[in-house]
Structures are given as C-alpha cells and as structure tokens.
Amino acid sequence: MLIPLLVFLIPVFVVLTGFYFLAKVIADRSENKEISRESVFWISFLLGPIIGLIVVEVSPLKKETHPTKACPECAEEVNVQAKLCKHCGYRWTA
Ligand SMILES: [Zn+2]
C-alpha cells in the first residue's frame, strides 16, 4: 500500500521541485520585460515552465525609464546624466 503511494508521490514531488527551480530561472529572464517577475514565476510554476518561457519571450521589452531632470532654459525633461540639453542646447557646468 505504501509503495504504490511513494511511486506516485516521488515523481510528483520531483516534478514540483523541478517546476519551482525552473520557474525561478525563467522569472530571472523577465528582468527587462514588461511582465513582472512574480507573474512569470507563478505562470511557470502553475502552468509549466514551457508556458512561462513562451510568455517571457513574447512579452515586450520594458521601456527604458531613465531618471530625468528639467532643463533650466527650456524646462524640457532630459536624461539626468545629460550635460547638454537635446532640446535647446543648454550646457550644465560641473
Ligand atoms: Zn533645454
């Protein structure tokens, strides 16, 4: 009675553990994607790593979100690291 139960439970356990680790690996691939890490993890874990991988691959890349600063001359937003305003040509010194 115990043996058939174990024969059934061990593969289930192995598959779930495998899904868990694969889901974590796949979730890491979603770093630059629009879809959140958590959604990818749960999709991969519950629906299977293949589905999760497909979801990650088809989801669009995250739009670059640079921190910005306002130009003192023209008041347009520019990249915070910019030394030259792309709108009016204002130069930041120092
Ligand atoms: Zn400007």
Domain boundaries, the chain: 2-58, 64-94
Q: Which pLDDT belongs to residue 69?
A: 94
Buried b (16+ CB within 10 A) or exposed e, 43-60: bbbeeebeebbebbeeee
Per DSSP, the three-state class of 46 is: helix
| pLDDT category of residue 76 using cuts at 50, 70 and 90 | very high
Q: Report CA(61)–ligand 1 centroid distance (Å).
A: 29
Q: Report CA(92)–ligand 1 centroid distance (Å).
A: 10
Q: Report CA(70)–ligand 1 centroid distance (Å).
A: 8
Q: Report CA(91)–ligand 1 centroid distance (Å).
A: 8
Q: Which pLDDT belongs to residue 62?
A: 80
Q: Report CA(65)–ligand 1 centroid distance (Å).
A: 19
Measured CA to CA in angstroms, residue 1 lies from 4, 8, 13 at distances of 6, 11, 18
Separation between Cα atoms, residue 47 and residue 55, nearest integer Å: 11
- Residue 17 predicted with pLDDT over 90: yes
- What average pLDDT does range 22-34 have in this prediction? 90
Q: Report CA(43)–ligand 1 centroid distance (Å).
A: 45
Query: pLDDT tens across 33-75, in order?
Result: 889 999 999 999 999 899 999 999 999 888 777 889 999 999 9
Residue position matching structure tokens 């990249």 = 79
Separation between Cα atoms, residue 82 and residue 56, nearest integer Å: 32
pTM reported for the whole predicted model: 0.60
